[in-house]
Structure 1
Amino acid sequence: MDQFKDWKGNFDRFFGQEFWGGFEGMMKPSIPAVNMYQYDNELLCFVNIPGMDHPKNVDVLVDHATLTLKGKIEINNRGGHQIKSEIADGTFERSIDLPYPVRHDKIEATYRHGLLVIQLHRHIPNSSRQKPITIRHLEDE
């Protein structure tokens, strides 16, 4: 253990104290963990949220081509001293870029056994909404 302190001290002197701060984001996993699958006009998102009592404890927000997840993962340990920590917990807010804009009126979400499944559908602009523009011919006026 003393060798690690010496090694870290040498890095601190050479790179400065801020050197270690750059690694913090790389070492911490993104929470919650997400798997996303793309189909032609559909996205299926699997979100790992262990320990959630009720799905009302997480907010799922969709804005154009961004999915945002907010909530809290709570693991109740009831007083013991933690000696290993591999399951990320605590409050989270994560925004995920989607490969295309999605519909706001057709979103389904289910939660079962610690897995939140979100089904999104591609927004396909309705070409019938296009209105032709009348061009005034100035020579006729």
Structure 2
Amino acid sequence: MSGVIEWPSGRPTLPDLFGWAEAGFPGTYGAGPHGIRIEEHMADGTYVLRAELPGIDPAKDVEITVTEDVLTLRAQRSEKTEERHRTEFRYGTFARSVRLPAGARGDEATAEYKDGVLTIAVPVPEEKPGTRTIPVRHG
């Protein structure tokens, strides 16, 4: 027994259902079939986004843009023409957009690729609310 439930003709098997669940519901912004899995956090006044991009040449296949307060990451993985029995790899163009925190300096962003993970760092200066005295004019 293989551990896979076979449904009568025309019904999905469990691996098909898991693949559908991983892709997300249509119209949602999950990693999806052509999305990029990410994690993000703030560290020492810097917004940090890490993206899983294994098997991609960052010099040729990755584009990072910032438009207003939205960071967009695009990557492409080309399919090799060798014959294979089975593949679960995903090929094509992948994209993910995230809204940057208020005050983020997208023009100062940096990116580094190591061990299949792209790390993007965007400075977010802390705005300190200061006290300001407003002079009153006397007529």
Question: When the two structures are superposed, what TM-score results if normalisation uses the length of structure 2?
Answer: 0.61
Q: How does 1:27-42 map to 2 (within 5 A)?
A: 28-29=32-33, 31-39=35-43, 41-42=45-46
Structure having the larger proportion of residues in helix: 1
Identity %: 24
Deviation at 1:48, TM superposition (A): 1.2
Pair member with larger Rg: 1
| 1:60 paired residue among 64, 77, 97 | 64
Gap regions ≥5 residues in structure 2: 1-5, 13-20, 26-31, 130-138
Which one of the candidate residues 94, 97, 100 is aligned to 1:98?
100
In angstroms, what is the RMSD of aligned CA positions? 3.5
Q: Which amino acid aligns with 1:70?
A: R
Tell me the distance in 2 between the aligned counterparts of 1:59 and 1:69. Answer: 6
Structure 1 residues without counterparts, runs of 5 or longer: 9-22, 128-139
The alignment of Structure 1 onto Structure 2 pairs a total of residues equal to 115
Q: CA deviation at 1:32?
A: 1.7
Aligned partner of 2:82 in structure 1 is: 79
Q: 1:97 to 1:30 in 2, by over 3 A?
A: farther
CA offset digits 1:88-129 (Å, max 9, x no partner): 33112221223334103321111122111100112567x9xx
TM (norm. structure 1) is 0.60
Matches of 1:2 and 1:106, distance apart in 2: 53
